[in-house]
Amino acid sequence: MLAGRHVHSRTIRSTARTASRRHFTSPIPALSDGFLDLALALPLPASWPPYSTGIILFTIATRLVFTVPFSLWAKKRQWRGEELVVPALQAERPLVQKRIVSEMQVERVRGSKEELRKTYEERVTKALKQRRKELFSEHRCSPTATMLIPPITQLPLFVGSSMMFSRMAQPPTVLDSESFLSLTSLSHADPTATLPIVLGIITLANVESSRWFISDLAREREAKEAERVKEKRAQGHLVLEPKKIVQTGLRMMSIGRILIGALVPGSVIIYWVSSATFGLFQSWVFDYWDKRRSNAPPRPSAAERTVAPAIPKKKASRSTKG
């Protein structure tokens, strides 16, 4: 039966290659054929659907090899920023404030009390921003690169894999004969929209569950930041909160993924659900790791670990009576 499946698969793929050779010059057809051969060669139980299982295993393997290392790299940069840059900036803040006051006194800045306060705050903010930028550069943990590199590295893999699985579903295809969960065929869209809805729920859970493992220290930082933003807005300033903007965008994207997922072939929606599920578990692991690190007792610095040598006490000399 397995040999017959191999022959049937090769016959259909040969016909598809002949029909598409005039139109495709990319490596996607070759990758698609290689994946179909690999799925049939995997030592899976006979009751497991080979192509659906192959898509899930492919997703896990590619995420582990190509995306997890960049996520770890970004997480370590984030930790350096939280453990080195933020404490250093907080320690230098009083010194910066005194320096700004001295500079304004030397320059003999004049104005009303409100004008002087505004000038003072602007100079302190500018000086602290410059110093923060220097510290990020010194410790190699720029937040822009830390935030952008992981999604940028994941995008080519996600788009390329989606194109490959979409091409595999083009008729004639062996995927037409395999069903999986609510999919009657891997070459057609989910008729019940069950998997697209699951995809949207997983995407939304990835956003909302970010507070499940939040540490006390992070919660305290968020409260201070919220108070700062409230004060700025009370003064009439326009304050943008990138984290909340991203979360709002992801919530909207969860709805969009349901609509798009209801239109794509079953092979693609299986890949998307598998990738989103992997990303959700990865976020949980990293968030739990963050909480463990934040709640752990602070490690002693290099200066604290250096134990000064004990100085021997001098024995008191006994006075002799004459």
Give the per-residue pLDDT at 58. 92
Burial class for 57, CB neighbours closer than 10 Å (0-12, 13-18, 19+): middle
**Stretches in the chain below the pLDDT threshold 70:** 1-26, 211, 213-223, 225-226, 229, 233, 235-243, 294-322
Q: Determine the pLDDT at residue 286.
A: 85
What 24-31 contacts at long range (C-beta under 8 Å, 24+ apart), as own/partner pairs, is: 28/160, 28/163, 28/164, 28/167, 29/167, 31/164
* Longest CA pairwise span in the chain (Å): 122
Burial class (CB in 10 A: 0-12, 13-18, 19+), 68: middle
pLDDT of residue 105: 86
**Under 8 Å between Cβ of 70 and 149:** yes
What is the per-residue pLDDT for 56? Answer: 93
Q: What is the pLDDT of residue 183?
A: 87
Query: pTM score, two decimals?
Result: 0.71
| Residue 62 near residue 157 (C-beta atoms within 8 A) | yes
The answer to whether residues 85 and 214 touch, using CB atoms and an 8 Å cutoff, is no
Rounded to whole angstroms, the Cα distance separating 72 from 84 reads 18
Q: For residue 112, give Cα distances in angstroms to 97, 103, 109, 117, 121.
A: 19, 17, 10, 9, 14
The answer to whether the peptide bond before residue 172 is cis (omega within 30 degrees of 0) is: yes
